[in-house]
Every structure is written in C-alpha cells, then in structure tokens.
C-alpha cells in the first residue's frame, strides 16, 4: 500500500490492522458473498455449456413435430395415424423418425420410457457416458436391449450389462442395459427403447412425436411450412432444430435467473456489513483522526485514507474469495448436483468470472466506504477533540 499510495497507503493498511476486530468480520462477510457468487456462476456457466453440448448431440433432425398439449405436461396425446402417414410421405425429406413417451410400472416404481425409431447414423451420435454406440446399436435396434439415462442409472445403480425390469403386455420382463447416455431433460431419468422393441413388448402403435431431415433442394423453413400446411387441421406443434435449441436455452436462462437475485442479496448483506463496520470505526477513531487533522492532514487526505482502507478490505476479500469460490463450484458440480439430480456437468472456470468477482468486491467495499469517509473528512477536528474530552 505504501508503494501505491505513499504514506496515506501505509496509514490505510495500519487502520485495517488495528481495527481487525471490525474489519475482519466485514471482510469475512464480503468473502462469503463474493465466493458464493463465484461458485454459483461457475456452476451455472458449466451447466449451460453442458446443456448446449448435449443438445447438439441429441437434436440431430431439422424439424420436430409433436402433438399439441395445452396442459404443458411431459406426456402428450398421440398424433392422428392418418397425419403420421401423410407426413411420412412428404416430398423433399431425407428421412424421419417416430417417437413415443409413456410411463410404465417397473420394479422400482414408475418408469418413463422413450421409444424411438432412429437410424443408425443418428444413434451413433448419442452422447454415451458408459458403453458405446457401436456396440449397443445391434441389440438396441432389434429391441433386445435398452439405454438408460445417467440420472436413472445413478438412482438405480445400473451399469451396462445390468437389467431393467418393466411391466409389458406379457407381464414383467427384464431388459439388459447396453449403454448409459447423458440426458438433462429429466432428473428422475428415462429408459430409451427402440420402436421395434416397444411395439413387440407393449403393443402400442401410437406416435406422439416425429422428426424430419430436409433433403436436397429443401430448406428447413420450407419443410416446416410444408408440414404445417399438411397438418393445419390437426393440433400439432412444429418447431425447427434451431428454434428448439434457442427455446431450451431461454428456459434454462429463465430457470437460473434467480441465482442473480441471490447473488445480489448476498452482496447487499456484505455491503451493509462493511458500512456498519466503517461507521463503527468512525466513532472509535474519531479522536485519532481529529489529531491527524490538527497536525495538518487535509480533508481530502483523510478521505483518501478511509477509502484506501475500504479498497484494501475489498481487495483482500476478493483475493480470498477466488479459491473459496472455485472450491464451492467443485462441490456444487461434483457433489450437490450429482447427488440431487444424477447429472454430470462440465466444469468451466472462465477467467471473466474471477475478474468480475474481484472488481465487484473492490467496488462494493469502495461504495460502502464513501459515506463514512465523507462524514469523517467533514468533521471538525476541534469538535471531535472536544467530544472526546
């Protein structure tokens, strides 16, 4: 501090040390607030990158069609079979898939099944956590095995080679697990089954979702418009890949918008703590500062000393919060989220989060010290010395 601010810097540093009983508590409060912001920020940023990467691997079609569900639930009514037939023969498409999402009973309770008719080229891009798409494709496509999502495998302690018990039309049946895939659409987990296996074991021909790839000479907007024209009399939802990704990320951002409010609240608490500490220090050090004024310290220099103390508090708090915030992020990513949701997320420590946290810490402390420093600088030394007698 002396190298930066000269004698005023040395006085500011000494002021922080001699009033450690108050500045220490204020600094600790700021450390907790800033580190919480760092931890949550790193966790949310990593989760966002993870979801975006998952969407790139999972959503491979150009246009998606589902039956409209006004209730907003996960399970939708089936599409009209005649509509499915019409859409299956659309000109200008390179391929399509059929899907159905249902809930069935299993040994461990209700299980969500996602059945899908997917080509091998799309299947090979599925994001596998355990197992591989190449080894799982044969048995999966024939309906002999299933995939389970990471949350489902975590909650039921499943790995490739284990079995899942599901109640089919012919009673309980054990399905071998050929792979574990990353999935962030459900925290309870899902079982993914080929449509061939689903038809054989559940005897359900209905479809509630279709996806299409545009062929040569067909643009995605044109394909979406063609689908809407063919299904204009039906209650359906048509959305492109880009729109679906954008909507998903928007929902994600709205979901975690509350974290910004929580960070603001913690910073507000820390701000009040620093302000209270500085106001108390003003009362305790009134005579000391009055003597300094009497021996020639100008109001501006007094203001500089007090602001130097607040900047030092903010800088120390910011530096201490960096490792603590990273540790909190590690706990949130690898312990809290895994135990709560069964999700594995990327850990992305962006330098911008750390720089922002350091700047925020110093700024919050500096703002908290403006009012006390102005009061101290404007206080008459004669009055302050007289009040101390």
Q: How many domains does the chain have?
A: 2
pLDDT of 259 strictly over 70: yes
86 with 44, same domain: the answer is: no
Q: Is residue 275 part of a domain?
A: yes
Mean pLDDT on 196-224: 89
pLDDT at residue 384 above 60? no
Q: What is the pLDDT of residue 327?
A: 94
- Same structural domain for residues 230 and 87? yes
- Of the pLDDT bands very low, low, confident and very high (cuts 50, 70, 90), residue 381 is low
The predicted pLDDT at position 281 comes to: 67
- In this structure, is residue 242 part of a structural domain? no
pLDDT value, residue 1: 73
135 with 50, same domain?
Answer: no
Please indicate, yes or no, whether residues 196 and 268 belong to a single structural domain of this protein: no
Question: 348 and 260 share a domain?
Answer: yes
Domain boundary among 234, 265, 297: 234
- Give the model's pLDDT for residue 217: 82
Which of 166-175, 233-242, 285-294 has the weakest average pLDDT?
285-294
Same domain, 126 and 93: yes
- Between 75-79, 166-170, 206-210, 335-339, the lowest mean confidence (pLDDT) is in 75-79
Of the listed ranges 171-175, 230-234, 337-341, the one predicted with least confidence: 230-234
The average pLDDT across 152-173 equals 90
Structure tokens belonging to residue 287: 């005579």
Q: What separation in angstroms does the CA of 359 have from each of 4, 322, 352, 363, 379?
A: 18, 12, 10, 6, 30
Beta bridge partners of 236: 67
In the structure, what pLDDT confidence band is assigned to residue 148 with cuts at 50, 70 and 90?
Answer: very high
pLDDT recorded at residue 78: 87
Q: Are 134 and 279 in a shared domain?
A: no
What SS3 string covers the chain? CHHHHCHHHHHHHHHHHHCHHHHHHHHHHHHHHHHHHHHHHHHHHHHHHHHHHHHHHHCCCCEEEEECCCCCCCCCCCCCHHHHHHHHCCCCEEEEEEEEEEEEEECCEEEEEEEEECCHHHHCCCCEEECCHHHHHHHHHCCCCEEEEHHHHHHHCCCCCCEEEEEECCEEEEEEEEEEECCCCCCCCCEEEEHHHHHHHHCCCCCCEEEEEECCCCCHHHHHHHHHHHCCCCCEEEEEHHHHHHHHHHHHHHHCHHHHHHHHHHHHHHHHHHHHHHHHHHHHCHHHHHHHHHCCCCHHHHHHHHHHHHHHHHHHHHHHHHHHHHHHHHHHHHHHHHHHHCCCCCCCCCHHHHHHHHHHHHHHHHHHHHHHHHHHHHCCHHHHHHHHC
Segments forming the whole domain that contains residue 287: 2-54+254-388
Is pLDDT above 70 for 321?
Answer: yes
Q: What is the pLDDT of residues 248-258, one digit of tens each?
A: 888 888 888 77
Lowest mean pLDDT among 88-97, 188-197, 202-211, 303-312: 303-312
Determine the average pLDDT of the residues in 273-281.
Answer: 72
pLDDT digit string, tens, across residues 125-147: 888 999 999 999 999 999 899 99
| Tokens 């910004």 found at | 260
**Which range (118-127, 212-221, 284-293) has the least confidence?**
284-293
CA–CA gap between residue 21 and residue 23 (Å, rounded):
6
Q: Is position 246 within any domain?
A: no
Residue 208 lies in a domain: yes
Residues 109 and 214 in one domain: yes
Does residue 180 or residue 36 have the better pLDDT?
Answer: 180
Distance between CA atoms of residues 10 and 6, nearest Å:
7
pLDDT at 69: 65
Tell me the pTM: 0.74
Please state, in angstroms and rounded to a whole number, the distance separating the CA atoms of residues 249 and 222. Answer: 24
Q: For residue 115, what are the β-bridge partners?
A: 100, 193
Inside any domain, residue 374 = yes
Residue 216 shares a structural domain with residue 302 = no
Q: Are residues 192 and 333 in the same domain?
A: no
Q: Among 234, 264, 281, identify where a domain stops.
A: 234
For residue 71, what pLDDT is reported?
53
pLDDT at 180 over 90: yes
Note whether residue 81 is domain-resident.
Answer: yes
Does the residue 78 lie in any domain? yes
Q: Is the pLDDT reported for residue 49 higher than 80?
A: yes
DSSP state string for 324-341 = HHHHHHHHIIIIIHHHHH
Backbone angles phi, psi at 281, to 5 degrees: -60, -35
**Do 134 and 14 fall into the same domain?**
no
Instruction: Examine the fold and report which residue of 234, 262, 281 is the final residue of a domain before the chain moves on.
Output: 234
Among 1-10, 134-143, 176-185, whose mean pLDDT is lowest? 1-10
Question: Which pLDDT value is given to residue 357?
Answer: 85
Let me know whether 30 and 122 are in one domain.
no
Is residue 290 scored above 60 in pLDDT?
yes
pLDDT in tens, 6-30: 667 777 777 777 777 777 887 888 8
* pLDDT (0 to 100) of residue 320: 93
Instruction: Specify if 63 maps to a domain.
Output: no
């Amino acid at each position: 501090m002396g190298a930066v601010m000269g004698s005023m810097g040395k006085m500011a540093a000494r002021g922080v040390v001699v009033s450690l009983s108050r500045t220490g508590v204020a600094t600790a409060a700021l450390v907790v607030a800033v580190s919480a912001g760092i931890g949550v920020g790193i966790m949310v940023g990593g989760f966002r990158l993870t979801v975006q990467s998952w969407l790139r691997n999972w959503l491979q079609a150009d246009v998606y069609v589902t039956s409209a569900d006004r209730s907003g639930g996960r399970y939708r009514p089936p599409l009209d079979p005649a509509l499915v037939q019409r859409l299956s023969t659309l000109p200008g498409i390179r391929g399509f898939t059929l899907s159905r999402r249902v809930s069935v009973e299993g040994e461990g309770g209700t299980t969500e099944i996602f059945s899908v008719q997917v080509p091998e080229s799309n299947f090979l891009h599925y994001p596998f956590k355990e197992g591989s798409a190449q080894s799982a494709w044969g048995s999966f496509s024939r309906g002999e095995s299933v995939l389970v999502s990471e949350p489902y495998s975590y909650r039921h302690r499943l790995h490739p080679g284990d079995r899942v018990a599901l109640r089919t039309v012919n009673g309980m049946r054990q399905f071998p697990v050929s792979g574990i895939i990353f999935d962030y659409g459900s925290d309870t987990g899902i079982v993914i089954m080929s449509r061939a296996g689903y038809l054989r074991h559940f005897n359900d021909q209905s479809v509630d979702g279709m996806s299409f790839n545009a062929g040569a000479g067909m643009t995605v907007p044109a394909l979406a418009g063609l689908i809407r024209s063919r299904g204009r009399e039906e209650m359906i939802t048509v959305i492109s890949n880009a729109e679906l990704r954008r909507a998903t990320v928007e929902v994600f951002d709205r979901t975690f918008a509350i974290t910004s409010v929580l960070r603001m609240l913690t910073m507000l608490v820390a701000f009040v703590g620093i302000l209270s500490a500085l106001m108390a220090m003003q009362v305790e050090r009134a005579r000391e500062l009055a003597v300094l004024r009497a021996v020639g310290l100008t109001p501006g220099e007094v203001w500089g000393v007090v602001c130097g103390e607040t900047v030092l508090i903010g800088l120390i708090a910011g530096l201490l919060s960096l490792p603590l915030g990273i540790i909190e992020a590690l706990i949130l990513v690898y312990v809290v989220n895994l135990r709560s949701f069964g999700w594995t997320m990327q850990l992305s420590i962006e330098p911008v989060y750390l720089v922002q946290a350091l700047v925020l810490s110093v700024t919050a402390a500096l703002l908290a010290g403006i009012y006390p420093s102005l009061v101290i600088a404007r206080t008459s030394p004669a009055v302050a010395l007289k009040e101390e007698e």
